[in-house]
Amino acid sequence: MTEELLPSVVDHYRSGYRSKGMAASVVYPGIVDLLDALGDAGVLRAVATSKPEPIARELLQIQGLTGYFEAICGANPDESAPHEGKAAIVSAALSALQASIPTGGVLDAAMVGDRFFDVDGGRANGVPCVGVSWGYARDGELEAAGAVAVVHDADDLRRVLDELTTDETKEAH
Protein backbone atom coordinates (compact mmCIF):
# COMPACT_ATOMS: atom_id res chain seq x y z
CA MET A 1 0.00 0.00 0.00
CA THR A 2 1.27 3.45 -0.82
CA GLU A 3 1.22 6.47 1.49
CA GLU A 4 -1.31 8.10 -0.82
CA LEU A 5 -3.77 5.19 -0.41
CA LEU A 6 -3.64 5.16 3.38
CA PRO A 7 -6.33 7.82 4.02
CA SER A 8 -8.84 6.08 1.74
CA VAL A 9 -8.10 2.67 3.32
CA VAL A 10 -8.60 4.12 6.81
CA ASP A 11 -11.86 5.79 5.68
CA HIS A 12 -13.08 2.49 4.21
CA TYR A 13 -12.23 0.61 7.43
CA ARG A 14 -13.89 3.24 9.63
CA SER A 15 -17.00 3.25 7.47
CA GLY A 16 -17.39 -0.51 7.89
CA TYR A 17 -16.58 -0.28 11.60
CA ARG A 18 -19.23 2.38 12.10
CA SER A 19 -21.91 0.71 9.98
CA LYS A 20 -21.44 -2.87 11.23
CA GLY A 21 -18.52 -3.39 13.59
CA MET A 22 -19.62 -1.21 16.50
CA ALA A 23 -23.11 -2.69 16.68
CA ALA A 24 -21.72 -6.22 16.34
CA SER A 25 -19.29 -5.78 19.22
CA VAL A 26 -20.31 -7.22 22.57
CA VAL A 27 -19.48 -5.99 26.07
CA TYR A 28 -17.40 -8.59 27.90
CA PRO A 29 -19.38 -10.72 30.38
CA GLY A 30 -19.73 -9.17 33.82
CA ILE A 31 -18.45 -5.72 32.85
CA VAL A 32 -21.80 -3.93 33.13
CA ASP A 33 -22.35 -5.44 36.59
CA LEU A 34 -18.82 -4.38 37.58
CA LEU A 35 -19.40 -0.82 36.34
CA ASP A 36 -22.67 -0.74 38.30
CA ALA A 37 -20.97 -2.01 41.46
CA LEU A 38 -18.12 0.48 41.14
CA GLY A 39 -20.57 3.34 40.63
CA ASP A 40 -22.66 2.20 43.61
CA ALA A 41 -19.46 2.26 45.69
CA GLY A 42 -18.80 5.86 44.63
CA VAL A 43 -15.89 5.00 42.34
CA LEU A 44 -15.35 7.48 39.52
CA ARG A 45 -14.79 5.80 36.16
CA ALA A 46 -13.14 7.04 32.98
CA VAL A 47 -12.22 5.75 29.56
CA ALA A 48 -8.71 6.47 28.27
CA THR A 49 -8.45 5.01 24.78
CA SER A 50 -6.14 5.37 21.81
CA LYS A 51 -9.20 5.38 19.55
CA PRO A 52 -10.11 8.84 18.24
CA GLU A 53 -12.37 10.29 20.93
CA PRO A 54 -15.48 10.72 18.73
CA ILE A 55 -15.29 7.05 17.70
CA ALA A 56 -14.87 5.98 21.34
CA ARG A 57 -17.90 8.04 22.35
CA GLU A 58 -19.96 6.61 19.49
CA LEU A 59 -19.02 3.03 20.42
CA LEU A 60 -19.86 3.57 24.09
CA GLN A 61 -23.20 5.14 23.10
CA ILE A 62 -24.09 2.19 20.84
CA GLN A 63 -23.22 -0.23 23.64
CA GLY A 64 -25.25 1.75 26.18
CA LEU A 65 -22.19 2.44 28.32
CA THR A 66 -21.74 6.22 28.09
CA GLY A 67 -23.56 6.93 31.36
CA TYR A 68 -21.16 4.78 33.36
CA PHE A 69 -18.22 7.15 32.87
CA GLU A 70 -17.49 10.56 34.31
CA ALA A 71 -14.86 11.12 31.60
CA ILE A 72 -14.24 9.74 28.13
CA CYS A 73 -10.84 10.64 26.72
CA GLY A 74 -9.36 9.49 23.45
CA ALA A 75 -6.93 10.38 20.75
CA ASN A 76 -7.19 13.52 18.69
CA PRO A 77 -9.80 13.03 15.95
CA ASP A 78 -7.42 14.76 13.50
CA GLU A 79 -5.31 11.74 12.70
CA SER A 80 -3.07 13.79 10.47
CA ALA A 81 -1.71 15.34 13.69
CA PRO A 82 0.92 13.35 15.59
CA HIS A 83 -0.59 10.90 18.09
CA GLU A 84 -0.12 12.32 21.57
CA GLY A 85 0.42 8.87 23.09
CA LYS A 86 -1.35 6.92 25.79
CA ALA A 87 0.36 8.79 28.65
CA ALA A 88 -1.25 12.06 27.53
CA ILE A 89 -4.66 10.42 27.16
CA VAL A 90 -4.43 8.85 30.64
CA SER A 91 -3.32 12.22 32.02
CA ALA A 92 -6.39 13.89 30.48
CA ALA A 93 -8.68 11.25 32.01
CA LEU A 94 -7.07 11.64 35.43
CA SER A 95 -7.40 15.43 35.21
CA ALA A 96 -11.08 15.13 34.32
CA LEU A 97 -11.68 12.79 37.25
CA GLN A 98 -9.72 15.03 39.64
CA ALA A 99 -11.97 17.91 38.62
CA SER A 100 -14.95 15.83 39.84
CA ILE A 101 -13.52 15.51 43.35
CA PRO A 102 -14.22 18.16 46.00
CA THR A 103 -11.40 20.63 46.63
CA GLY A 104 -8.64 19.03 48.65
CA GLY A 105 -9.75 15.50 47.77
CA VAL A 106 -7.20 13.00 46.49
CA LEU A 107 -7.74 10.87 43.42
CA ASP A 108 -6.89 7.21 44.02
CA ALA A 109 -6.71 5.59 40.59
CA ALA A 110 -5.92 2.39 38.75
CA MET A 111 -5.70 1.78 35.00
CA VAL A 112 -7.33 -1.25 33.42
CA GLY A 113 -6.09 -2.22 29.99
CA ASP A 114 -5.46 -4.91 27.44
CA ARG A 115 -2.16 -3.77 25.88
CA PHE A 116 1.30 -2.66 26.96
CA PHE A 117 0.36 0.89 25.90
CA ASP A 118 -2.12 0.95 28.78
CA VAL A 119 0.49 -0.22 31.28
CA ASP A 120 2.95 2.38 29.99
CA GLY A 121 0.31 5.13 30.11
CA GLY A 122 -0.57 4.26 33.67
CA ARG A 123 3.05 4.08 34.79
CA ALA A 124 3.83 7.45 33.17
CA ASN A 125 1.09 8.92 35.37
CA GLY A 126 1.99 7.04 38.55
CA VAL A 127 -1.02 4.76 38.29
CA PRO A 128 -0.88 0.95 38.62
CA CYS A 129 -2.31 -0.97 35.68
CA VAL A 130 -4.34 -4.16 35.86
CA GLY A 131 -4.12 -6.12 32.62
CA VAL A 132 -7.10 -7.98 31.20
CA SER A 133 -6.43 -11.19 29.31
CA TRP A 134 -9.53 -10.92 27.11
CA GLY A 135 -8.10 -8.12 24.98
CA TYR A 136 -5.51 -7.96 22.24
CA ALA A 137 -2.25 -8.51 24.14
CA ARG A 138 -0.01 -11.40 23.22
CA ASP A 139 0.72 -13.95 25.94
CA GLY A 140 3.06 -12.41 28.49
CA GLU A 141 2.85 -8.88 27.06
CA LEU A 142 1.07 -7.32 30.02
CA GLU A 143 3.28 -9.00 32.60
CA ALA A 144 6.43 -7.95 30.72
CA ALA A 145 5.15 -4.37 30.58
CA GLY A 146 4.72 -4.31 34.35
CA ALA A 147 0.99 -4.83 34.97
CA VAL A 148 0.41 -5.29 38.71
CA ALA A 149 -1.87 -8.22 37.87
CA VAL A 150 -3.45 -9.86 34.84
CA VAL A 151 -7.06 -10.94 35.29
CA HIS A 152 -9.22 -13.29 33.28
CA ASP A 153 -12.78 -12.16 33.98
CA ALA A 154 -14.80 -9.34 35.54
CA ASP A 155 -14.97 -11.02 38.96
CA ASP A 156 -11.18 -11.33 38.99
CA LEU A 157 -10.91 -7.67 37.99
CA ARG A 158 -13.20 -6.57 40.83
CA ARG A 159 -11.17 -8.60 43.34
CA VAL A 160 -7.86 -7.04 42.21
CA LEU A 161 -9.32 -3.51 42.18
CA ASP A 162 -10.63 -4.07 45.71
CA GLU A 163 -7.18 -5.32 46.79
CA LEU A 164 -5.46 -2.29 45.26
CA THR A 165 -7.79 0.07 47.07
CA THR A 166 -7.38 -1.80 50.36
CA ASP A 167 -3.57 -1.88 49.98
CA GLU A 168 -3.37 1.82 49.10
CA THR A 169 -5.68 2.72 51.98
CA LYS A 170 -3.48 0.74 54.39
CA GLU A 171 -0.34 2.46 53.07
CA ALA A 172 -1.94 5.91 53.54
CA HIS A 173 -2.49 5.32 57.29
pLDDT tens column, 105-150: 778 899 999 999 999 999 999 999 999 999 999 999 999 999 999 9
Would the pTM count as exceeding 0.75?
yes
Which pLDDT tens digit goes with each residue over 55-95?
999 999 999 999 999 999 999 987 666 678 899 999 999 99
Query: Computed from CA positions of residues 17, 23, 24, 27, in that sequence, does the dihedral angle turn out positive or negative?
Result: positive
| DSSP SS3 for 60 | helix
Q: What's the pLDDT band for 16 if we cut at 50, 70, 90?
A: confident
Q: Which amino acid is at 68?
A: Y
Identify the structural domains of the chain with CATH numbers, from first to last: 25-172 (3.40.50.1000)
**pLDDT score of 81:** 67
